[in-house]
Amino acid sequence: MCNDNCEISLYYKRKNNQGEAINLTLDIKKANSIEEIYNERELYIKSLHFAQEQYLEQIVKKCDVYIIEIESKIKGYFCVNNDKVIYEFYLDVEALKFSQYIFKTIIENGYFTSAECKSYDSLFMSLCLDFHKKASCSGYLFRDFYDTEISLSGFEKLKFRQAELRDVSKIDDINYDFFQRLEEQIVKGEIFVLYSNEVLLGAGVIQKVFHSTNYYDIGMIVNKNYRNRGIGTYIITKLRQIACNKKLEPICGCWYYNYASKKALEKAGFISKHRILNFDF
């Protein structure tokens, strides 16, 4: 069973021009940080048919990163968390013909036991389908939208604005661990609040997903005392409009069984054609 640094012999069953069997040496090396695969991740993000998911991006930043080398040349990487869940698997074009062999080898050597995969991550998705024993959905990914106008009735003196540090205590009262870096995000201008008089009805966020793309994840949280009154849809609509006015590309997602969030996002004009899938091997 291989752990941090491991050399595995992968025998690829093909013959060269002289009719000799090809013997490839596969090295799996644990990176010291995700920065070691900066260039490879740039290529991976560009290879996706749709935007990276913010939820997964935050997980990947905390994962162990393993570099894939073939004949001592870097050909790709994969990211695994402490629970042995793999979140990204990437190979360059020259190594794609070996993808099934590499994926099977790292499964057999215990690097991961399950996967969480975006449905539009073609290579990763295909390999998971090749070797999985069980599959399920865990999330909706919204990458398309149409323009909508939403009004909110039943509240006095509505005010939707960018959050300020004086809002921190009220946001904390309804946070429920939604915002992990609240004060930092307020300073960066990522947080917005919706008030009725002095009552905080909800808060929203617009945050860049990946540094080299123009995709911005939007999300919201609603004061539990005022749920099921259209506040979530109203906030998401406002956030989408702000993003579009700034020439940003808004995206969002929600847990597969969070029916209220899904409904709010759809009412705000977002469309989900994609999923987050879980696989067990």
pLDDT in tens, 184-225: 999 999 999 999 999 999 999 999 999 999 999 999 999 999
pLDDT confidence tier of residue 14, bands split at 50, 70 and 90: low
Q: Spell out the residues 6+ positions from residue 258 whose beta carbon is closer than 8 angstroms to its own.
A: none
Give the pLDDT confidence score for residue 71 in this predicted structure: 87
HEC string for the chain: CCCCEEEEEEEEEEECCCCCEEEEEEEEEECCCHHHHHHHHHHHHHHCCCCCCHHHHHHHCCCEEEEEEECCEEEEEEEECCCCEEEEEEECHHHHHHHHHHHHHHHHCCCCCEEEEECCCHHHHHHHHHHCCEEEEEEEEEEEECCCCCCCCCCCCEEEEECCHHHHHHHHHHCCCCCCCHHHHHHCCCEEEEEECCEEEEEEEEEECCCCCCEEEEEEEECHHHCCCCHHHHHHHHHHHHHHHCCCEEEEEEECCCHHHHHHHHHCCEEEEEEEEEEEC
The whole-number average pLDDT for the span 18-35 is 82
Percent of the chain, pLDDT > 70? Answer: 92
pLDDT in tens, 95-117: 999 999 999 999 999 999 999 99
pLDDT confidence tier of residue 244, bands split at 50, 70 and 90: very high
Packed helices 259-267 and 231-245: angle between N→C axes, nearest 10 degrees: 50
pLDDT in tens, 38-74: 999 999 999 999 999 999 999 999 999 999 999 889 9
Give the pLDDT confidence score for residue 82 in this predicted structure: 96
pTM above 0.75, yes or no: yes
pLDDT confidence tier of residue 92, bands split at 50, 70 and 90: very high
pLDDT confidence tier of residue 12, bands split at 50, 70 and 90: low
Percent of the chain, pLDDT > 90? Answer: 88
Alpha-carbon distance 88 to 117, whole Å?
8
pLDDT at 5 over 80: no
Give the pLDDT confidence score for residue 18 in this predicted structure: 63
What domains does the chain contain, in order, with CATH numbers?
5-132 (3.40.630.80), 143-275 (3.40.630.30)
Return phi, psi of residue 82, to 5°.
Answer: -70, -20
pLDDT at 7 over 60: no
